Chain A
Amino acid sequence: MKKLSLTAAPHINSGVSTHNIMLDVVIAMIPASIAAIVLFGLKALWIILTCVVSAVAAEFIFNLCVKKKQTVGDFSATVTGLLLALNLSTNVELWQAALGSVFAIVVVKGLFGGLGKNIVNPAIAARVLMLLTFASVAGGAAIAPLFDLSFLGNAVPEIAAGATPLSFLNEGAEAAASAPSVLQLLVGAHGGTIGETCAIALVLGFVYLVCRKVIKWYIPVSFIATVFVCYLIAGGFDVTFALQHVLAGGVFLGAIFMATDYVTTPATNKGRVVFCIGAGLLTFAIRFWGSYPEGVSIAILTMNLLVPFINDWTKKKPLGGIK
């Protein structure tokens, strides 16, 4: 008699798997990657390839060394590599990018027990490490567009000289006047890391993730809105000023792709909103009062460490209570 399978209920599933989710995140990052190559030239492509290949290779070799089941197929290493690449500027050397990826995968993720066990987001941790060791990586790299972008306005050449728009914005109102316009910020024709500048491409990725039900729309929005409101108040209700601040720097990239990482954010949607509001406030505080122009990655990293506490505060109460 033929043996029948005797697995436990339920006998069907939703068809969503870790592999699908990670692949969706990779797809959502494609518009930003294309924008990066268009705006920053072929160097961006090399950075992306280096990061992804070294992240995947690091995961593969690490699993071999510790004799774990191979997990390259779940695409989580690809996500980490790609996300790190988008967080680097063209000032980075390729070997530095590779080193960052290996650090992210091996130290931040692998040594903590692999996917699902890491406490902080591997890509952010690697970026912050690189920021401290090779200061130029997150600084404002000049754009080297594949096409002529001068139709966007006369400020482009100035920005191309180096600093990120945030360094203008943080110098006060006079300097802020020479910061790029909102339109330029949306398109991304300004200095910065390769993936953070083009807001339109990032929003495309956001829409894709929401449509694929990978993330809830209000999670990144609560992050961005918090930063926006803070600047609105700080800037005396100058909407343009607040918009420039939200669009410049890594707020969109961080809110859409890092603050929505399942592993390193709270477990419930309520907790995730708390997380994002906290990260938004921290971003504002670091940018506004700190000496460092960019605050998103440090804000998210700090909130990552607070996740156990947020989880405790926002724990769901089972229906029927505990008695």
Chain B
Amino acid sequence: MTNAPTGSRKGAAIDIQACSKFYGNFTALDDVSLRVEPGEFMSFLGPSGSGKTTTLNLIAGFTDLSKGEIRLGERPISNVPAHKRNIGVVFQHYALFPHMTVAKNVAYPLRQRGVAKAERDRLVEGALAKVHLEKFAHRYPSELSGGQQQRVALARAMVFDPSVLLMDEPLGALDKKLREVLQLEIRRIHRELGSTFVYVTHDQEEALVLSDRIAVFNKGRIEQVGTGHQLYSNPQTLFVGQFIGESSILRGSHRVNGAETALDIGGTPISAPGTPKSDGAQVILLRPEDVAVQAPGTGAANGRGNVIQGTVREAIYLGSAMKYEVLLADGTPIVARTATQGEAFGIGAGIELAWKPEDGRLLTDDGSIGGH
């Protein structure tokens, strides 16, 4: 499950301690604390303007902290200028020097560090081999495709063996197919290097593919930090639940029954384990694969204690599964994914939805709008 490096752990820990960043009256980052373990692959996931890139820029030293402290391998770095932090950065826009060849670009950080020519050539060759671009050493960046340019940027950011590598949406400008190929390469490079990787993205799928852990950012704060599995199966906030994976949301007035809470959905009581964590409206979040679609009148079976009537609005055959979009009587849309072997229902069919109460996740409505 984890993507831990096989080599010696030489990555440095990043300790973000109560950091804030203000631009005038605007709070870009609001009292964020986070520890990235040595050699870990951590993704910062969130919508644009959520503070993830701000945090990356603070670590890289491109922006100054307003409050708080950042430690790199236990050393405070607030007063260390960007060029002395020894952190590799890969940008979404590649940021290759257009007037230098590929080899010169990759050699650039080594030149700054006074590495002798022979050693420099050897390291550049090695870094280019890692990204499969040995043959392009003497080309100029403008003569390469987007994917090749980003590979050069990657080679340049890792050639000086930094203990931390930061990537700001590095695959954002590339098409889907190329993105998938490079994702696997980045995973492989992380395993080989053993450096600490911080990867900024707004693509939850990408974060799931790459990371050991994911920090979900929203409105300048971190909503939750955890493995992809933890975030998917046990979201702590509605925002996280909706941002990671597909989900349906049930809303209604709630009543606490001991260790359970029930929501009134158009007269039907729907229960989920747990009691409200904070005041305000409560919702239940459902994952499509947990919801069964059955013929009306089947009722509670196989421990699926929550049953509610609905109408099929869309039925989509996905090969391995059927995906149903079902409308409840009050208009709430619910997505269900079932095995293809079962009974199939057509559009407009009246059906029952059923699921185990423990598969529903009781969360406080934080106003985050659904559907990512």
> Do A and B belong to a common assembly?
no
Interface residue ranges, B against A (CB under 8 Å): none
